[in-house]
Amino acid sequence: MANVYLGLGSNLGDKRKQLFAAITLLAEQAGDILALSDLHETIPWGYQSAHSFLNMVVHLGTSLSPHELLASTQHIESELGRTAKSKDRQYNDRTIDIDILLYDKVILQTPDLVLPHPLMHKRLFVLQPFTQIASDLIHPVFNQTITDLYQALLMEIVDEINRQKFEELINADVLPV
């Protein structure tokens, strides 16, 4: 049985209900639910929307192969009303989104599936709930724990905020250049 971590998100309709419906369907169709993070309310990432997200991470034990699991998660998304997947990083609102974050220590790059998820280390809405259920898990590409990746991302965010504030001060002629 493979240990898999899934990122779930919803920002349309009854978000909590959508997430728990997805969990129920994952348990019925994909494997055993081993752990759930708390729900985290977040702003959309990568696009503008008036609709906030509820996000969580699920630890799943499955006998499905990575591609079988992808097919299962896409079927569940469709069952729960998702009509279109994001293409070329053009994100949109969605009733449910299920991303395979890690599948054991598998490293895979195919046209339809990349493992580990190629953007998980850049997404606070993934790493924050992930640390709740698997803080010491080692990312197979970066060879760092989920907590280390989370802390590194927090530092990147702080550095960016500080850089922006510094630029604002320079542009406002508050600091000598």
Tell me, yes or no, if 82 is annotated catalytic: yes
66 and 140 Cβ atoms separated by less than 8 Å: no
Tell me, yes or no, if 99 is annotated catalytic: yes
Tell me, yes or no, if 38 is annotated catalytic: no
Set 14, 32, 88, 94: catalytic member: 94
Set 32, 97, 104, 112: catalytic member: 97
Q: Token pair 């990568």 is at which residue?
A: 46
Set 89, 99, 104, 173: catalytic member: 99
Tell me, yes or no, if 97 is annotated catalytic: yes
Beta bridge partners of residue 108, listed in sequence order: 115
Set 82, 88, 93, 104: catalytic member: 82
From 43, 46, 53, select the one nearest 97 (Cα to Cα). 53
Residues with catalytic roles: 82, 94, 97, 99
